Structure 1
């Protein structure tokens, strides 16, 4: 892989950039503190904006690494942080990354997450030169799977009791896309 780090990206309606401390208010209010947003995730809602600031500070230290990818999703129309998309796991030996994402429930069902995932897929296949991108979701969160499908990822299977989220142990649906199939999209 030809790692680039968390560089600025853009799509039609969104900007993708490194988190800044000033993002803490929107991050906390729009998604990081909300149980509706974090229900199927592996981390608990933030109890305070202070915790959000502490996490952003940790990410800012990690931005020095070329293999660290953690983008704030910014809505162009109001410059507001509405979510996050990031690499949650990678495997250098097979040139693979696993993408995770989270979006404010105020912006669900408007195509923003699909737009974000499509832009990040383009970046990883065309600029970082990965061979495989995958993403996973709780079987109880089919909306996340629809985002993956619309973005071109292919359902590969279900890991029985493969994840522990805020609802407890649940099956995990795995989607993936390899470079040769990405080129056919």
Structure 2
């Protein structure tokens, strides 16, 4: 896999129930609902945003980061209401020599527990492994984030272990992270 394959254009990934696509300015209100929620930042880097202008600026940064071939932020939308952003999926840390990427996902709290995170992870893996040609997809999860670990396990990921005090996450400091992976051979 060459990282350039990922960055030819924003991915558009459609399944029966959800679509992952580029986040637009028209998504601002729904994006703010996600990034301003303190509960969402309990298990992810960063802090809740207190200002809608900050979140609006993030949308510009999503496009800039894509242009720099650094990270891909995709909105998660329900197919029954394609204008309703319910979450954000991330594809980052491309390792061309190893042929792997890291993924992340964040859902509006109103959509927790309905299987949308699992559907998102499965859609990302299908796209990355089968369309892009990645060999390894991985995800890092805080050790006490049981729900996210369950999402990865339901999606066929293997827990490789715990990286003890191995990362500094903004707003969290030094954290333990569980490392999960899915290989093309796992299909």
TM-score, structure 2 as length reference: 0.90
Q: CA RMSD in A?
A: 1.6
Residues 167 and 69 from structure 1, CA distance in 2 versus in 1: closer, same or farther, beyond 3 angstroms? closer
Following TM superposition, where does structure 1 have runs of at least 4 consecutive aligned residues deviating by more than 4 angstroms?
Answer: 65-68
2:174 aligned with 1:169, yes or no? Answer: yes
Unaligned stretches of 5+ residues in structure 2: none
2:53 aligned with 1:53, yes or no? Answer: no
Q: Distance in 1 between matches of 2:28 and 2:173?
A: 27
Shift of 1:12: 1.6
Shift of 1:49: 1.0
**1:69-148 correspondence to structure 2 within 5 Å:** 69-78=72-81, 79-148=83-152
Unaligned stretches of 5+ residues in structure 1: none
Shift of 1:110: 0.3
Q: Distance in 1 between matches of 2:100 and 2:54?
A: 31
Note the alpha carbon deviations across 1:73-106, whole angstroms, 9 max, x for none. Answer: 0122233111111113121110010001111111
